[in-house]
Amino acid sequence: MTQALWTWDELIAASGASPDGTPVWPITGVSIDSRTLQKNDLFVALKDVRDGHDFVAAAFAAGASAAVVSRSYRRKPGDGALLTVDETLSALQAIARAARARTAARVVAVTGSVGKTGTKEALRACLSRIGPTHAAEKSHNNHWGVPLTLARMPADSRFCVVEMGMNHRGEIAPLARLARPHVAIITTVEPVHIGYLGSLEAIAEEKSDIFLGLEPDGVAIIKRDNPQFAIMKAAAERQGARVISFGKSQDADVRATDIELHPNGSDVTVDALGQTLSYRVGAPGAHLVENSLAVVAALLALGVDLSRALPALAEISPPPGRGQRTVLEVGGGKALLIDESYNANPASMRAALEALATVSRIDHPRRVVVLGDMLELGEQAPQLHLGLKEAVDAAGVDLVFACGPNMAHLFAELAPSQQGLWAETSDGLTDRLLDSIRPGDVIMIKGSLGSRMAPLVEALKSRFGR
């Protein structure tokens, strides 16, 4: 039988709930989504876009051991054990605090404008070579994602990796104080969510709030090459943190001294606090090499055996929406699809285009990109979209499909030979895109989540899937 994650008494004590019944089965997990809930999970009925209380019955039907509900909820036929609380998100946060308090795990928190999830997954892979490691699922990095990650942490975890995101001021600090990391990483600061925060300096200040939660003698890991380095370093030092910097700068503590970019990965040599280390990153792209430098810094801060941990970087493979590659069967030949559809901002857009440029022209002579609007850029949106032209040209892109009002600025400045089609929404690109693909093409699709680029990926897979 799977070991219990929480006892009933522990949950009552942690949440301050009034119990109604007792679970028949041990509670082995925590869920907020009845669609993905696993048997014997605790279901927490959060109120968000939809009210989780409307899905309590579905949760019990799916095998939930118990549910956390608000005091206004009325028991229904088929309900199992209930924990009744004043407010369910507060209860989840309380359970998260109890999870953090009961563990001896070393906690690493990761934030940054780009690279959060990739860095988190690389750390998960490396630390799992050392001992039991718990990490956030997907991009669970917001006001409910961080407490959910902590609430799911087994008490005997040796390491925990938490991802933290934001799009407004004041969102990082409470997450950091909840997680209480020993090591906090800011991957970089870029004009992401600048429409809400107004300036790069404000973004750096918000990201730097991750250091407010650092444990005593904590370590702050910061990109040395970033123009906002001084702001972040000062914030870390105000908390008494030791700072380890990373990057290509001669002043970085963890410095890349040699990088060989290949179509299927990169070979990297670094000077890490005086040590020379060499390793391979198993997925392509200079941005993943940058992530790996932050990972090396974190591993040094944690004092783990690098000879055991670093080889895990060679086994990294990008997940769907974040650079996953799929071979398509097209007209008796093959094409390569690069799925970057999960999200986009100016920095990640450039990184994806740079990775595209490493794909061999011999195997894939024509480079096609499908670009959707980058959102939450405010008044700077038109110029930031237009500013991608240099990166598109540098990547040797032959054909561009684009959608959204802001991508129209870029599309209008392309050479006529590069212009495939612009449409108001991604749906308007589907038919022309499918008809345009040829054997030997490499197709990269990227845009913000709200631009709905993933259906184009699925359309290509449906038409040309192997």
Going from the N-terminus, what domains does the chain have, and what CATH number goes with each? 8-85 (3.40.1390.10), 103-315 (3.40.1190.10), 324-464 (3.90.190.20)
- Scan for tokens 């032209």, then name that residue: 389
User: Is the torsion defined by CA of 99, 101, 102, 107 positive or negative?
Assistant: positive
Question: Using CA atoms, how far apart are residues 187 and 372, in angstroms rounded to an integer?
Answer: 24
Where does residue 338 rank: exposed (0-12), middle (13-18), buried (19+ CB within 10 A)?
A: buried
Q: What is the 3-state secondary structure (H, E, C) of 359-419?
A: CCCCCCCEEEEEEECCCCCHHHHHHHHHCCHHHHHHCCCCEEEEECCCHHHHHHHCCHHHE
Per-residue pLDDT tens digits for 7-21: 999 999 999 999 999
456 touches 433 (CB < 8 A): yes
Among 375, 365, 300, CA closest to 336: 365
Q: Of all helices (H) and strands (E), which one includes residue 270?
A: strand 265-272
- Say what the pLDDT of residue 338 is: 97
pLDDT band at 331 (very low <50, low <70, confident <90, very high): confident
Q: pLDDT category, 263, cuts 50, 70, 90? A: confident
Q: What is the pLDDT of residues 80-89, one digit of tens each?
A: 999 999 999 9
With CA atoms as reference, report the closest residue to 219 among 175, 186, 172, 190.
Answer: 186
What's the pLDDT tens digit per position in 45-62?
999 889 999 999 999 999
Q: Which helix (H) or strand (E) holds 22?
A: none
- Is residue 337 within 8 Å of 328, Cβ to Cβ? yes
**445, β-bridge pairs:** 339, 370
Confidence of residue 2 (pLDDT cuts 50, 70, 90): confident
CB 181, CB 162: distance < 8 Å: yes
Backbone region of residue 273 per phi and psi (left: phi > 0; alpha: psi in -120 to 50; beta: other values)? left
Q: Integer distance in angstroms from the first to the last C-alpha of the chain? A: 39
User: Quick check: 371 and 349 in contact, CB under 8 A?
Assistant: yes
Q: What is the pLDDT of residues 101-151, one digit of tens each?
A: 999 999 999 999 999 999 999 999 999 999 999 998 887 899 999 999 999
Is the C-alpha dihedral spanning 185, 92, 150, 316 positive or negative? Answer: negative
Q: pLDDT per residue over 290-330, tens digit each?
A: 999 999 999 999 999 999 999 999 998 888 899 999 999 99
pLDDT at position 193:
78
Predicted pLDDT of residue 318 = 86
Q: By mean pLDDT, which of 71-85, 190-204, 243-257 is the weakest?
A: 190-204
Residue 158 has pLDDT above 60, yes or no: yes
Burial class of residue 347 in the structure, from the number of CB atoms within 10 Å of its CB (0-12 exposed, 13-18 middle, 19+ buried):
buried
Q: Which secondary structure element, helix H or strand E, spans residue 233, and what is its range?
A: helix 229-238
Decide: 18 and 28 in contact? Cβ < 8 Å.
no
Q: Is residue 1 scored above 70 in pLDDT?
A: no
For strands 324-330 and 333-340, give the pairing: antiparallel
Largest CA distance in the chain: 69
Rounded CA separation 348/359 (Å): 17
- Can you tell me the distance from the alpha carbon of 296 to that of 221, in angstroms, rounded to the nearest whole number? 10
Asked if the model's pLDDT at residue 41 lies above 90, the reply is yes
Residues whose CB falls within 8 Å of the CB of residue 321, separated by 6 or more in sequence, listed in order = 339, 340, 341, 342, 343, 454, 457
Question: What is the average pLDDT score of the chain?
Answer: 96
Q: Average pLDDT in the 199-226 region?
A: 97
Of 348, 304, 309, the closest CA to residue 183 belongs to 304
**Of all helices (H) and strands (E), which one includes residue 16?**
none
Which tokens go with 293? 């430098």
**How many residues are there in the chain?**
466
Nearest-angstrom CA–CA distance, 436 and 326: 18
Q: Which amino acid is at 117?
A: T
Q: How far apart are CA 6 and CA 39, in angstroms?
A: 14
Find the mean pLDDT for residues 377-390: 94
Q: How high is the pLDDT of residue 317? A: 87
Tell me how crowded residue 159 is: count the other CB atoms within 10 A of its CB.
Answer: 24
d(CA 364, CA 439) in angstroms, rounded, equals 8
Q: How would you list the strands of the sheet with 159-163, edge to edge?
A: 133-135, 159-163, 106-111, 183-186, 219-223, 242-247, 254-262, 265-272, 275-281
Q: DSSP string covering 92-121, please?
A: HHHHHHHHHHH---EEEEEE-SS-HHHHHH
pLDDT at 69: 98
Q: Give me the sheet containing 324-330, strands edge to edge.
A: 324-330, 333-340, 441-446, 366-372, 399-403, 419-423
